[in-house]
Structure 1
Amino acid sequence: MLAFLQKVVSVQGRQIVAVVAGSDSNSSGDGLPPSSFTWIGNMHGDETANRELLLRLADGMCGGALAAGDPRWRALQDSTVVRIIPSMNPDGFATRRRNNANNIDLNRNFLVTGAFPYPPPQLAVALSQDQRGQPLHPAAWGWAYEGNSSLQPEAVAVSAYLSAHMPDLSANLHGGSLVANYPLDACDSLGDVAYCPTADEPVPRLLAAAYAAANPGMTGSGSSFVNGSTQGAAWYPVLGSMQDWTYYALQRLQLTLELHSAKDPPPSALPGLWDANVRAMLRLMELAHMGLRGRVVDETTRGSLSANVGVSQPAGVRGTTADASRGGYFFKPMAPGLEYVFVVQPYDPADAGVPYEAITLNVTLGLGSTEDVMRGAGLQGLTVERLLLAVRSNPTTRKL
């Protein structure tokens, strides 16, 4: 097991620490890297309990206590790199203040990156009010007052960390409500309440529902949410969120988990909060494996290649890319019970003039139903792994 710290600095010079636990070795004979998951807590400094949850998770994983008592934890740690950032906003935590030391809401700060498919709202529109003086577009109003700034040091640090390590799945944790929120957080520049499904459906919805299913508070009789989960834009739109930045910039899925109704609960509440979330956290990390994991290499040289990985079935599902600099690795989340048809077009980024045949894959997960995702346990049936041997020739389609 690996555990070490990586440090960057907040506005006021406090360290933002990442703890890395789990396996750092190849998980298969095909040279595939282990699956990876990243947790990010305390983005809002006054939402403190999720920070304590992640500190306990880091201690349990690095110290071996979780794996020692449960074969599911042991299997997870043997096959997964887990990166834990307990506090993204240490300055805000120090003062129990929501925003960072520059009074910027970090979860509304990512719109300035240019990674979104829409521009920031015009300020005149964002600040427009109705006859009662209420914002016409509350999400745009919130961005204008709290997110409209250059990318803050904390956002720079965490976005760079995510970009460098490219988690297969991630989650950022909050307090103030009790629900599993899945992307997208906003549909357009105004961020009005609307439902706008991603091109990865139904996977994001299933991931959120699986977390909620393992958390009794989220699916209890008092919940107003279906399956304890919601799409952010249809509930509480946020412009410039880290969840949406991850979806657009990294082409990866991230959930926003609201884990405690009280933002700063007393220490006496923390053991119960851990008990309510620990199995849900385990299940969500297991689901970082759910999909097609592959490598693309040259058939002759075994050198790593890049590739465009398209999805022709189900219709409308977003593709992904394989990266030669990461060993030709790619990961595409999949839903159970559906046949996926992938069309992989390899290329050598160091020699774009060399043509490769396209490779077609027909893939179905071993899991049979959404119930297996939501109520299941362990890694069995979650993953399909493929080593793709790219043949140099004129472009044709080759079926495996």
Structure 2
Amino acid sequence: MVENMTLSTILTFCIPGEYGEHHPEPEEPDRRRPRPGVEEEPPTEDYNEHLEREDYDDYGHSRRNGKSPKVPQRPERPVVYEKPAPKKPVVVTVPPLPEYPDPKPGINYDDYDYTVYLKPPDTKEGEWTEEDKYPKKTTSKEEREREEEEKKQKEKKKPPETWDSEEVEEPPKEKKKCPPLGLESHRIEDEQMLASSMLRHGLHAQRGRLNMQAGTNEDDFFDGAWCAEDDGRSQWLEVDTRRSTLFTGVITQGRDSIILDDFVTSFYVGFSNDSQKWTIFSNGYEEMMFYGNVDKDTPVQTDFPEPVVARFIRIYPQTWNGSLCMRMEVLGCPISNVVSYYSQNDVLTSADNLDFKHHNYKDMRQLMKVVNEECPTITRIYNIGKTAKGLKIYAMEISDNPGEHEVGEPEFRYTAGLHGNEVLGRELLLLLMQFMCKEYRDGNPRITTLVHETRIHLVPSLNPDGYEIASPMGSELGNWALGHWTEEGYDIFTNFPDLNTALWAAEDRKLVPHRYPNNNLPIPESFMADDATVAMETKAIIAWMDKIPFVLGANLQGGERLVSYPYDMARAAKNTEEQPPPRYRHQFLEEEEEEEEQESVAGVAEDDEGVSRTPDHAIFRWLAISYASAHLTMGETTRGTCHADDFTKGMGIVNGAKWRPVSGSMNDFSYLHNNCMELSIYLGCDKFPHESELAEEWENNKESLLTFMEQVHRGIKGIVTDRHGEPIANASIAVAEIPHDVQTGSGGDYWRILNPGEYRVTVRAEGFTQSSKTCLVGYEMGATHCNFVLARSNWQRIKEIIAMKGKGRLRLAPPGGRRLTPAARLRMQRRQMWLNRQRNLTTTLPPTTTPFVPTTTLPPTYTPTTMRPRRLEPPTPSESLWDTETETYTEIITEVETETWEEEGTTRVAPFTTAETYTVNFGDF
């Protein structure tokens, strides 16, 4: 029956997993599907029933209207039907493919390289290839293992393929960092700064530069910030860069004041291209406010989220502490050239291939080592001592014979880094080392002459401890005092012994130079005591000065742009009770005319008010001008000084006591304790300039550094020896009308820096007869040779006799050389009494009117009865007669007999008078 059934009446189905796929049930043609009924909504349960149902549902119970659970129906047995016969598959003919050569087995064509490579030309028979000419060496087992390891390492280092690795997120782009535009270094001029208002003239917009220092009195024209007139939030401070600039941030700082505490805590920033339409920096939704300082001294850098291109920038303070005052610096990268004719803001570039960057202690030592390796024949590295932290103070010597002092060759020194945060001098000396080494190797005649005729010492950092404190803060974020002092808290420049006070006291008592010397003054014993407040660096510098006979030197500092010369200590004015006589009007006018004539002849006179002059005042001014005039910007009258009034009067030089009086300075000590004349060179307004400014600063100071070194060869120099050619050490060289002497070195050589002119020079040495001669100093470069030959004197024997006698009086030789008898002694006494009586007699006659006629006749001289004076021998044939200067000195010595003698003599009683003549020979060797 089953076989007669049709497929349309049979419900065919298969149990899944047992007979195959499940087929849908066929529909009957006359049967209709019933419409599904609407399900009734179950009644809403109350709260208790709902909780009870949930509790019982956990245990598998059913509580539906109180009925017993429904028994599940038994499933019906499925009917099995036969499977229909499978249909024959339809054969589809595929078009024939083109014939390709059979691929080689093992080739993966998915990674096939389709690059066309050029094949080497086929070699003909009989020709030798490179492999045949140079057969490959057989490698050993160790070499093969090493090659395998190298291959493995290369495979490890090889970056993974894109399809084998996961996608790597790209790191965020680094923000562009731009250097400061130059508000602190005064590259931005005063005309480029503008403000909405100012509280008074001393607080104008130009005082709003970073690290601007206030004057001595905070109420003068030179205060330490820009301050607005009122406390309105519409005030602003503007900077014109005179070109299109990419602004990346600003640095703000509070007011420099001892009393007040003023600083800005928040502000807006605006930009403009024409100074008319301004756009406030925003984050896309609203104007963005930046936060500023929390104190008045620490600089705070604010970076913009996105750089802005404009020409003008403004700061709009919104909140502040105290008064509305601030200082600032702008960070930006110039995009276009300077607008119109302005060129002061252009950054100079150097043609010298030098290392223009900041060097820490390790980098500085490495750079000096590289210079020494490049020029080993003219350089030497040594250290002069250690700091409190144990860092060595390195020095570089540049000379044709490094390590030895050559007789006749002057010693010169440059020192820098006395204050750790003044780093420009440090970098300039490192650049000077590289430059001199490079130019010497290239054959520069100027550098070659300096190296061969001068022994140069360069110390780039006298306070490396302070530099390590200041350098982490960078060029702009370190305040004015960070790293200024040593680790122990000393200021090295003013930590030297005070020798001025003792010298000036001796001068007031007329003890100089007979009882108290005017040069090479001794150091007080209290200064070198163990409990003295002296830095370790200072002691090392003093020992270095005593070891080497320096002639000229300079210390490089920062924070100003000028040259300061001694004295640095101000001398108190003398209180004289005697008043000058009154001057009538005509007398005053005559004196005024004379002063004007002197000024017109001597040039522009210096204001003497507050100036503490040295005996070499004119020479110090010459040396200071030699550096300032060769500097590219120091002598410009339009720039002025960095912080306060221009004490230099547009010349770039100033007396230290007039500008900033201090006691115990390095310059005063070097001048009074040694033969060295030292000055202080302040290189710029910015103590810690940015790396981008180092090339410009090098170009500004390069010619000045070389010119100042050449001044050591100006004046006179020579050698002092005895008649046998032996050098005389510690001989005193005195120049007429300059009460400051110098001493010869261990080799008898000396150097005396003098201005052009004619000088009378006198040489004195213990145990020798003094000698004098005239020396001429010209305007051309090169010192004049003035050699001296001294003859021994009998002063040493006289001193020995005095020492043997002790405190007793010395017996003088009697007239005639014989002892007096008692009768002769009595006659001499009577005659002396008679002469005294005649001298004391007075007459009552009126004074005669005969005019007094001066006479030039000498008193009668008697035949000397003493030994012949010791005369100097004539010059030896080895000496050049035309280079020998002979002078004759005649001394008349008159002695009166004060002693009595026992023996009687008939010698005539008369004063004991002798005339001694000395002939001194001078020769130039």
TM-score range, shorter chain: 0.7 to 0.9
The structure 1 residue matched to 2:400, chosen from 10, 13, 23, is 23
Measured on the aligned residues, the alpha-carbon RMSD in Å equals 2.5
Determine the C-alpha separation between the residues in 2 that align with 1:234 and 1:69.
44
For the residue of structure 2 that corresponds to 1:170, the secondary structure is strand
Amino acid at match of 1:360: S
Determine the C-alpha separation between the residues in 1 that align with 2:749 and 2:458.
22
Q: CA deviation at 1:345?
A: 1.2
Q: CA deviation at 1:280?
A: 0.6
Higher helix share: 1
Cα 1:26–1:310 shift into 2, 3 Å: farther
Amino acid at match of 1:267: E
> Are 1:390 and 2:790 an aligned pair?
yes
Aligned to 2:499: 115
TM-score between both structures, scaled by the size of structure 2:
0.35
Aligned to 1:321: 743
Q: CA deviation at 1:14?
A: 0.8
For the residue of structure 2 that corresponds to 1:187, the secondary structure is coil
Aligned to 1:228: 652
CA offsets per residue over residues 347-387 of structure 1, 9 Å max, x none? Answer: 3xxxxxxx4221112112121xxxxxxxxxxxx43301233
> Are 1:14 and 2:431 an aligned pair?
no
Alignment of 1:1-400 (within 5 A): 1-7=377-383, 8-24=385-401, 32-61=407-436, 63-65=437-439, 68=442, 70-96=444-470, 97-110=483-496, 113-118=497-502, 150-188=533-571, 194-220=610-636, 221-223=638-640, 224=646, 225-226=648-649, 227-312=651-736, 315-323=737-745, 326-336=746-756, 338-347=757-766, 355-367=767-779, 380-393=780-793, 398=920, 400=922
Determine the C-alpha separation between the residues in 2 that align with 1:238 and 1:41.
19
Q: CA deviation at 1:114?
A: 5.0
Determine the C-alpha separation between the residues in 2 that align with 1:332 and 1:98.
35
CA offsets per residue over residues 200-248 of structure 1, 9 Å max, x none? Answer: 1210011001100000211013133242111111111122211111011
Cα 1:38–1:9 shift into 2, 3 Å: same
For the residue of structure 2 that corresponds to 1:19, the secondary structure is strand
Determine the C-alpha separation between the residues in 1 that align with 2:441 and 2:701.
17
Cα 1:26–1:399 shift into 2, 3 Å: farther
Cα 1:164–1:37 shift into 2, 3 Å: same
Tell whether the 8 Å contact from 1:297 to 1:304 is kept in structure 2 after alignment. yes
Between the aligned residues of both structures, percent identity stands at 26
Tell whether the 8 Å contact from 1:5 to 1:20 is kept in structure 2 after alignment. yes
Aligned to 1:370: none
For the pair shown, which has the larger CA radius of gyration, 1 or 2? 2
Cα 1:310–1:172 shift into 2, 3 Å: same
Determine the C-alpha separation between the residues in 2 that align with 1:249 and 1:296.
21
Tell whether the 8 Å contact from 1:25 to 1:34 is kept in structure 2 after alignment. no
Amino acid at match of 1:17: Y
Aligned to 1:132: none
Determine the C-alpha separation between the residues in 2 that align with 1:64 and 1:389.
42
Determine the C-alpha separation between the residues in 2 that align with 1:5 and 1:116.
34
Determine the C-alpha separation between the residues in 2 that align with 1:43 and 1:214.
24
Higher relative contact order (CA 8 A, sep 6+): 1
Amino acid at match of 2:458: I
Amino acid at match of 1:398: V
Amino acid at match of 2:790: A
Amino acid at match of 1:390: L
Determine the C-alpha separation between the residues in 1 that align with 2:403 and 2:494.
37
Structure 2 residue runs of 5 or longer lacking an equivalent are 1-376, 471-482, 504-530, 574-608, 641-645, 796-917
Amino acid at match of 1:39: Y
Q: CA deviation at 1:69?
A: 5.7
Determine the C-alpha separation between the residues in 1 that align with 2:440 and 2:692.
22
For the residue of structure 1 that corresponds to 2:379, the secondary structure is coil
Cα 1:299–1:257 shift into 2, 3 Å: same
Tell whether the 8 Å contact from 1:170 to 1:253 is kept in structure 2 after alignment. yes
TM-score between both structures, scaled by the size of structure 1:
0.79
Determine the C-alpha separation between the residues in 2 that align with 1:399 and 1:270.
56
Tell whether the 8 Å contact from 1:360 to 1:397 is kept in structure 2 after alignment. no
Determine the C-alpha separation between the residues in 1 that align with 2:619 and 2:743.
18
For the residue of structure 2 that corresponds to 1:43, the secondary structure is coil
CA offsets per residue over residues 125-156 of structure 1, 9 Å max, x none? Answer: xxxxxxxxxxxxxxxxxxxxxxx962211111
Amino acid at match of 1:308: S
Amino acid at match of 1:194: G
Aligned to 2:802: none
CA offsets per residue over residues 313-359 of structure 1, 9 Å max, x none? Answer: xx244121123xx20122111011x2211110133xxxxxxx42211
Structure 1 residue runs of 5 or longer lacking an equivalent are 120-147, 348-354, 368-379
Determine the C-alpha separation between the residues in 2 that align with 1:173 and 1:218.
14
Q: CA deviation at 1:394?
A: 5.6
For the residue of structure 1 that corresponds to 2:787, the secondary structure is strand
Cα 1:173–1:339 shift into 2, 3 Å: same
Amino acid at match of 2:786: R
Q: CA deviation at 1:399?
A: 6.6
Tell whether the 8 Å contact from 2:559 to 2:685 is kept in structure 1 after alignment. yes
Tell whether the 8 Å contact from 2:408 to 2:750 is kept in structure 1 after alignment. no
Amino acid at match of 1:198: T
For the residue of structure 1 that corresponds to 2:554, the secondary structure is strand
Tell whether the 8 Å contact from 2:408 to 2:717 is kept in structure 1 after alignment. no
